[in-house]
Amino acid sequence: MGYAGGPDRRRYPRWRARDGVECQLQTRTRVRLIDISADGALLGSELPLPAGTQARLRSAIGTAPFSPAVEIRRVAPRGADPTPIALGAIFLSMDDRSRRSLELFLKMAGS
């Protein structure tokens, strides 16, 4: 018997994994940059990501590439906003190019 009572279409049998086998499933989702500071950003998303999730943000700020490692610290609903979930993220690390892009962007935004 297959999934949800339908016919089984598997070509090979499945076997239950041992207890304690852990995996990571990396997914891609689009987010919208709402605001940014030197140490983090607020992102709009249609998918909730649990606090503690670590990811790589790939974008451009201004005209320069920006690719920091981030950790989601806060998840909050945004109501009727086009991206209904707000994700508060901190920057864990970034390469020199991303750091320079961020510093230049923040300098230009502050003037």
**Alpha carbon 10 to its chain's center:** 32
Q: Please report the pLDDT score of residue 1 as a whole number.
A: 46
Domains and CATH numbers, the chain: 30-110 (2.40.10.220)
Q: What is the pLDDT of residues 54-105, one digit of tens each?
A: 999 999 887 888 999 999 999 998 877 777 899 999 999 999 999 999 999 9
Residue range 103-111: mean pLDDT, rounded:
87
Contact (CB, 8 A) for 104 and 64: yes
Q: What is the pLDDT of residues 11-68, one digit of tens each?
A: 888 888 888 787 776 778 889 999 999 999 999 998 888 999 999 999 988 788 899 9
Q: Please report the pLDDT score of residue 70 as a whole number.
A: 96
Contact (CB, 8 A) for 14 and 52: no
Question: Per residue, what are the HEC states of 63-94?
Answer: CEEECCEEEEEEEEECCCCCCCEEEEEEEEEC
